[in-house]
């Protein structure tokens, strides 16, 4: 492996669980209260925009009450210290990685604190509620929607992610069930290109079989330990 291997990290809802943000597919998970097709599809947005906007308004408002945890902070420390290539791809739509200080970051499923114009594609930072019928400041169309990738829509940044996976020496997956593609397939792409693969998760996931190594436990414990291990090895 190169002096400073090129690293791609994928995070899912499990990295934010210890900050108090519900995951999707566990007891009390976000999908427990709603059917995906009712709040996270283009059809749902067309059928009942008020319900969809309200679902994301509630999740956006919940961000005010949570803080990055030790896992987010350790990943930001790695981002600042790592001299080699590093890309943190998150499936999460919260802003905890940014708030912890990560900069080499890509939100492949969108962001709660962003609004997207369905007409012109312009984005606007958004903090409060986003009522249906809000006009876009760029094109004035009444077409602002949550900047969230719905099921059936193309995730953001796939070309950049695939290119990073092709160059990766190390792929690390943190806090994801490996239930949703294309993210669930990244480990196989990384392996195909010769990367070493590591999973840090509370429980075995759908993708665990594809990893060279899987460490089970809370991200708040496993991620700082892994970052310390990586940085001390790089300085050796």
Q: Residue from 77, 109, 111, 145 that binds ligand APR (CB under 6 A)?
A: 109
**Whether residue 97 lies in the annotated active site:** no
Q: Residue from 6, 19, 173, 201 that binds ligand APR (CB under 6 A)?
A: 201
Longest Cα separation, the chain: 58
H or E stretch at 98: helix 96-100
Q: Decide: helix, strand or coil at residue 131.
A: coil
Site stretch for ligand APR (CB under 6 A), options 1-9, 20-28, 96-104, 128-136: 20-28
Rg (CA), the chain: 18
Rounded-to-integer distance, Cα 144 and Cα 147, Å = 9
Do 122 and 138 meet the contact criterion of CB atoms below 8 Å apart? yes
Closest approach of ligand APR to the CB of residue 71, in Å: 7
Tokens of 124: 């606007």
Cα 80 to the center of its chain, rounded Å: 19
Binding of residue 19 to ligand APR (CB under 6 A): no
Site stretch for ligand APR (CB under 6 A), options 50-58, 124-132, 173-181, 185-193: 173-181
Whether residue 175 is annotated as binding a ligand: the answer is yes
Site stretch for ligand APR (CB under 6 A), options 57-65, 120-128, 132-140, 169-177: 169-177
Q: Which of 49, 11, 8, 3 is nearest to 222 (CA)?
A: 11
Annotated binding site for substrate: 56, 59
Interaction site with ligand APR (CB under 6 A): 12-14, 17-18, 23-26, 29, 91, 109, 175-177, 179-180, 201-203, 205, 218-219
């Amino acid at each position: 492996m190169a002096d400073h291997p090129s690293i791609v990290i994928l995070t899912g809802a499990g990295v934010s669980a210890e900050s108090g943000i519900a995951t999707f597919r566990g007891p009390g998970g976000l999908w427990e209260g709603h059917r995906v097709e009712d709040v996270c599809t283009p059809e749902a947005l067309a059928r009942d925009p008020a319900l969809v906007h309200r679902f994301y308004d509630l999740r956006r408002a919940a961000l005010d009450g949570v803080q990055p945890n030790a896992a987010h902070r350790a990943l930001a420390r790695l981002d600042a210290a790592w001299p080699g290539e590093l890309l943190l791809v998150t499936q999460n739509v919260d802003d905890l990685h940014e708030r912890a200080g990560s900069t080499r970051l890509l939100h492949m499923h969108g962001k709660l604190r962003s609004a997207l114009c369905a007409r012109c594609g312009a984005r606007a930072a958004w903090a409060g509620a986003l009522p249906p019928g809000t006009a876009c400041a760029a094109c004035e169309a009444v077409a602002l929607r949550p900047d969230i990738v719905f099921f059936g829509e193309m995730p953001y940044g796939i070309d950049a992610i695939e290119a990073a996976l092709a160059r990766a020496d190390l792929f690390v997956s943190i806090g994801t069930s490996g239930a949703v593609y294309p993210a669930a397939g990244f480990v196989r792409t990384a392996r195909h290109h010769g990367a070493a693969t590591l999973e840090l998760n509370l429980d075995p996931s759908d993708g665990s079989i594809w990893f060279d190594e899987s460490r089970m436990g809370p991200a708040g414990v496993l991620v700082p330990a892994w970052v310390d291990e990586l940085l001390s090895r790089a300085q050796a």
